[in-house]
Every structure is written in structure tokens, then in C-alpha cells.
């Protein structure tokens, strides 16, 4: 499964906690992350991570392009709802593309837990994309 991980600064610690706890489940999947999120994951785990640009410098747009090209199966985007971001337009576009292309997306820790715990995540039931 091709997974994109993104976390705003105020949510980095939450993402690192989630990734460390789920490292074994994530190990068999292709992980891509925006630059600072990916660098934090590389420091905190042994997971290989493909790095995009920093979110505000185009990383969110790169993730959106990956979604539009059908190269993302799941996204965990822990964004900060309390802090305005200089790249809010890109954030909104990324979330719109995730919905448009039916990519399972978690925007908080609990939803990420549900997604990674699903039998669909492990491939036990049906295909990971397009199953309805």
C-alpha cells in the first residue's frame, strides 16, 4: 500500500507517536511524507520514507498530484485546525483531491487508528482501492 504521511508542526509529536506505535504495521508499505514530517519519521524509526518538499514549499501540492495520478492508497494528514497556515489553499486542495479520488484519509489520531486497524488495510477483505 502507498501511504502519504503529513503533519503540521503542532501535530508532529502526535504523528511520531502514531508512527512509532504502528511501525511494524507500516513496515511492509511504501511511505511518502512531506519533508519535515518524513525527516522526523526517519529519525524516530527504521522505516524507509520517500521525502517530498516541505508542505508550504509545494509538498502538499506534490501529495495532491500523487493522489490525482492514482499513486496514493491512504493518507494520514494531521493538520492543525487552530493555527492558520500560509498554505491553507494547498491544504484545502489536497483534502479536496483525497475526497474526489476516494483516498481513505485520516485527519486525526483516532481516525488513523481506525484506518490502520481495518481488515481492508491488511488486505484481508477485498481490494484496498475501489472496493465498495
pLDDT: which is higher, 2 or 90 = 2
Partners of residue 13 on adjacent β-strands = none
Q: What is the DSSP string of 67-99?
A: HHTT--SEEEEE--TTS--TTHHHHHHHHHHHH
pTM of the predicted model, to two decimals? 0.90
Give residue 12's domain range.
Answer: 2-117
Mean pLDDT of 112-122: 90
35-84 pLDDT per residue, tens: 999 999 999 999 999 999 998 899 999 999 999 999 999 999 999 887 77
Question: In this structure, are residues 121 and 115 in contact, taking their beta carbons and an 8 Å threshold?
Answer: yes
Report the catalytic residues: 60
Question: How many domains does one find in the chain?
Answer: 1
Q: What percent of the chain has pLDDT over 90?
A: 78
In a domain, 129, yes or no: no
User: Can you tell me the distance from the alpha carbon of 65 to that of 52, in angstroms, rounded to the nearest whole number?
Assistant: 11
In a domain, 127, yes or no: no
* CATH classification at residue 94: 3.40.50.1380
Question: What is residue 114's predicted lDDT score, i.e. its pLDDT?
Answer: 95
What does residue 25 show for φ and ψ, rounded to 5 degrees? Answer: -70, -30
Question: What is residue 81's predicted lDDT score, i.e. its pLDDT?
Answer: 80
Amino acid at each position: 500500500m502507498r501511504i502519504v504521511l503529513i503533519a503540521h508542526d503542532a501535530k508532529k509529536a502526535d504523528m511520531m507517536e502514531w508512527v512509532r506505535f504502528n511501525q511494524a504495521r507500516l513496515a511492509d508499505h511504501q511511505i511518502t511524507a512531506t519533508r519535515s514530517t518524513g525527516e522526523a519519521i526517519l529519525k524516530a524509526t527504521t522505516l524507509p520514507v520517500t521525502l517530498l518538499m516541505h508542505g508550504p514549499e509545494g509538498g502538499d501540492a506534490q501529495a495532491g498530484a500523487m493522489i490525482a495520478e492514482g499513486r496514493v492508497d491512504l493518507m494520514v494528514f494531521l493538520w492543525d485546525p487552530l493555527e492558520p497556515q500560509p498554505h491553507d489553499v494547498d491544504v484545502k486542495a489536497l483534502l479536496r483531491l483525497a475526497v474526489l479520488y476516494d483516498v481513505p484519509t485520516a485527519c486525526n489520531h483516532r481516525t488513523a487508528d481506525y484506518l490502520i486497524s481495518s481488515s481492508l488495510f491488511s488486505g484481508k477483505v477485498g481490494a484496498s482501492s475501489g472496493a465498495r
